[in-house]
Amino acid sequence: MLILTLVVLLATRKATRWLRDTLRILWVGVLVGAGVGLVMFAARMVRLNPDVNPTYPGLTKLGAIGEFAEAFFVAAVVWLPYLFDALERSTSPLLLAVRQLRARKSGFLTVISFLAFFGVGLASFGLCLTISVMGGFGNDLKRKILGNNAHVVIDRERDGFSNWRPLVDRIRRVPGVTSVTPLVQGEVMITSQTNLSGVILRGVEPDGGGSAANVRRELICGRMQYLIHPERLLTLGVNERCRPTSREPSDSSGGGPAARRVPPQRGGTPAPDGSTSESVPGGRELLLPPVPSLAGDILPGVIVGRELATNLHLQLGDEVRVVSPFGGMITPAGPLPKTRLFRVAGIFYSGMYEYDTKYAYLTIPVAQDFFNYRRDQISSIEVRVGDVDRADRIANEIRPLVASEHLRVRDWQQLNRNLFRALKLEKLMMFVLLGVAILVASFAIVATLLLFVMEKGREIAVIKAMGASDAFIARVFVWIGMIIGGVGSLLGVGCAFLVCSLIQRLGIPIDPEVYYIERLPVFISATDYVMVMLLSVGVCLVATLIPAWVASRLRPVDGMRQ
């Protein structure tokens, strides 16, 4: 299609203006129609065969995005002459600048002029696209962090604290606070029959907000009620047991698995060997092994992440042993670790590997008993706010309320300071490195304008002989560079906006085993796009200074002698 686009542009170059624009507009319609057809074809592939390799629909969508980008390019070619017509009705320097760009030039100068436009546009396009993709990954990471962590954490540096109920009541009255929940947590080791792993054990209120609400929303196996009534785990049906053997497809609303909100369908049919096939979201069947009897003691329930369950080969109802380095008996050789058996009451999937491998949840009373806390003692208080960008201000309002208890108050930016600083530094470095591409493109502008001075020396001499000043000639060449930079950056930024918008709407699948996300995230920031345009125009303006000075210093007699 790209070759056909170039053929159409070249074939219509010598036609009349009305016919040329009409044919090019028709070609825009053909390209847009091809893009829509490819999108419908990709959607039909997924609808008819849910198990199709995601690479094929992804490539089809990329082809559709390419067709739309070509249509944008052809539309820009149709639109540029009308823009130049409008600019010619402006001031005299701008009129001469546009006339010089539109005038016939030697073949080499024509190629250099085209490369100047193309270089600035391509550099602006690449910079905007990279910043948008990096911003999308940053926002996705921020959403997952805020979805699994509190916006403000109130705790003591070492031990837990008591007398927390009056603090909770005071914090709830702070404007902007949406939920306040107590928390008991500690670092432990969890072991199964096949493996072991270190985790952070968190005691929550199953029916409360904060972390409990997120875990309840992210459950793919089990229920939060099993934490309150662990005896129900002894009477699980065959179809209620599940294990996280494969990643589930993301739903369209936000990066997590569709299984978060859709519990496993019951009614699986037993196979002759005792195994069952269970329907899961996406139309597939998950083959489960024969389920042994769960006869045994009533053990407290614990909810673990999917990656942790995969590493420990756990499924709903399995027994695990939790080991704490503190809280056991004191012997002459030192304190013994404290161990206790738990039963898996649920498996959650947060969409972030660190949380799915490092966090486990149980009820607050069980956590207090395991960590030897008193019934009125907790380790921290989680606070969630309505506007996460105001979390630092709300934290400043909370600090005087807890100052008498000698507690520290930290917002989510302080808790994840190093991570977000690294993301900002990475984004800044990419902006600088890709900005060098715009600087390289400005070299083509310098070469173009210097060749203009050499080729149009006689015209410059005639204009100066008619009374034009050196400043007037310099302004003409400055305007030429500004038009190249402005039009090139406008085309590049506009094409990047179109491509990023299409990626947001269509979704480009990526490998979830590597990125832990199944669609390419994109975030369009108007501020970033404006900064790219200003950078492009500013670099092009600086690039025009030397050619403009050379043109302004040309003497009329030297031009006439040529």
Confirm if 308 and 232 have CB atoms less than 8 A apart: no
**Residue 335's pLDDT band (boundaries 50, 70, 90)?**
low
The secondary structure of residue 294, as a DSSP letter, is: -
The tally of domains found in the chain comes to 3
Do 557 and 432 have their domain in common?
yes
Confirm if 505 and 252 have CB atoms less than 8 A apart: no
Q: Given the DSSP bridges, would you call strands 338-348 and 377-378 parallel, antiparallel or unpaired? A: unpaired
* pTM, 2 dp: 0.70
* Digit-coded pLDDT (tens) for 82-107: 788 888 787 778 888 888 777 766 55
**What is the model's pLDDT at position 120?**
86
Q: Hey, is 516 helix, strand or coil?
A: coil
Do 133 and 223 have their domain in common?
no
- Asked if residue 467 is part of any domain, the answer here is yes
- Asked if residue 472 is part of any domain, the answer here is yes
Q: Hey, is 185 helix, strand or coil?
A: strand
The answer on pLDDT for 278 being more than 70 is no
Domain boundary among 78, 100, 128: 78
**What is the model's pLDDT at position 484?**
86
Do 499 and 513 have their domain in common?
yes
- Asked if residue 271 is part of any domain, the answer here is no
Lowest pLDDT segment from 231-240, 280-289, 420-429, 511-520: 280-289
Do 71 and 111 have their domain in common?
no
Do 553 and 504 have their domain in common?
yes
- Residue 338: what residue type? K
Do 196 and 67 have their domain in common?
no
Spatial distance between the Cα atoms of 322 and 343, rounded to a whole number of angstroms: 10
Using the structure block, give the residue that is written with the tokens 């010598």.
Answer: 14
Do 313 and 407 have their domain in common?
yes
- Residue 234: what residue type? L
Domain around 390: 150-236+299-412
- Asked if residue 254 is part of any domain, the answer here is no
Do 183 and 315 have their domain in common?
yes
The answer on pLDDT for 246 being more than 60 is no
Domain boundary among 386, 412, 438: 412
CA 114 to chain centroid, in Å, comes to 34
H/E/C letters for each residue in 307-365?
A: HHHHHHCCCCCCEEEEEECCCCCEECCEECCEEEEEEEEEEECCCCHHHHHHEEEEEHH
Mean pLDDT of 138-164: 80
Task: Please give the mean pLDDT across all residues of the chain.
Answer: 77
Do 72 and 116 have their domain in common?
no
Do 540 and 486 have their domain in common?
yes
H/E/C letters for each residue in 23-57?
A: HHHHHHHHHHHHHHHHHHHHHHHHHHCCCCCCHHH
- Asked if residue 68 is part of any domain, the answer here is yes
Domain boundary among 395, 412, 429: 412
**What is the model's pLDDT at position 240?**
64
- Asked if residue 289 is part of any domain, the answer here is no
Do 356 and 307 have their domain in common?
yes
CA 457 to chain centroid, in Å, comes to 52
Mean pLDDT of 256-265: 37
- Asked if residue 375 is part of any domain, the answer here is yes
Do 544 and 438 have their domain in common?
yes
- Asked if residue 283 is part of any domain, the answer here is no
